[in-house]
Structure 1
Amino acid sequence: LSSLSYAFLVVVTIIAMGLSCVALLAQAVRHSPDGSWTRNFNALVIGASYASSYLAISLILCFNRRLAVRMRLQRMSKAYTTLPGARCPTSPVHEYVAQEYMRTCLVAHESLPTDVVHAGWGRPGTEYDGVRFRRALLDTIPEIGESRYTLAHTVIPAHPTLKPHARMLHHFRFILPLLSAEDDELTPLHYYDSAIQLARNAAEEPTEHEFALGMQAVEEIKKSLNDCRLEALESSITD
């Protein structure tokens, strides 16, 4: 009822202002020397007055509305609060929100790519799904021996810290005798060094095969260092 009353009042006010403007303009035309709109200064003043009044009222209403909204927002609590049962949404509203949420989740799930392959990234649906090969390979360096709290420094306390852009084969040269070699005298450290060099310097992204070889070398290096650490602990306990 209040909205209808407000709308009715606004319409009546606009009609009244329009009629008064028309009446004043007609009177200004009748009292002009030539009885026309040409060079009628009074009509110009009346029109400008009504236009400025309309603009001023519009600005006041907009400012009042903006101020009211701002004050209401400031009164809202910023902290998370638990609503009591009486203030919870009604059952239809709750069901509608739940349905929309489930529909959105279903659309988001169906929109996930299933057969898109990007260079340097794991394929969807595989064990490397969402893995960036270059970043994952470079992140293995701190795990093995960048600081003095890693495996390499645990086995060899005097192991040097990593220098920028140092090759893995040179940086981990002291643990090279601890690693098992193949028939071609290549150790996991050689494969790991090649993988890190590709990740650092290659213009193209590492392939899944190269990433798998690099991660396999990482696991073998970790296993060898961990075995050495356990043997050292056993010998210290025995002594």
Structure 2
Amino acid sequence: MLSSRKLVAILSNATYLFLAFVSVIFVALSCFALLAQAVRQSPTRTWKNNFNALVIGGSYAIVLVVSVFFCLKRRLEVRLRLSRISKNYTLLRRSDAPQAVHEYIAQEYMRACLVSHQSLPTEVFHPGWGRPGTKYEGVRLRRALLDTIPEIDILAHMVIPAHPTVKPHVRMLHHFRYLLPLLSTEDELTALHYYDSANTTGSQFCR
């Protein structure tokens, strides 16, 4: 389906061509009528030695040549002006526009900057992500927590060499059960409880 802009352009071009065609038809008819009248009013009623017919034909020929000349001149001027427009980005200076236009552009630019600044979120909190403005900004806490499991497993083998190797789909409380006596509890929860919760609420950790 054609857009409204293309439809308007097509209608505009069609109207222009129609009016130009009608104008040419009427001019040709008027020229033919005047020439016929000049022949009828001639003493000999012929084209021979008919000065009036010569003047009428010459006048229409001059009008045609002048019209074509002005059309070509206008088209050439428009093409030259468009060719002088820079295709690259150029900064508008104060002298490139009237003072009122420059002030209006500056005012609207400042208004847009103010609206953009006011629309920025100030207190944003997404569960599971670090708070903006802190060192954890943009950090997904669950993923960051699970990424430390291989390091903890290596340290666990340093403390307990016979510690089992971590396996997929294993609960952290069960895997690190031998480390529970070494961990401090806070509200009856150890750090392993948080690891276990992070590991069981989504995709399982696999070494």
In the superposition, the TM-score normalised over structure 1's length comes to 0.33
Which has the higher Rg, Structure 1 or Structure 2? 2
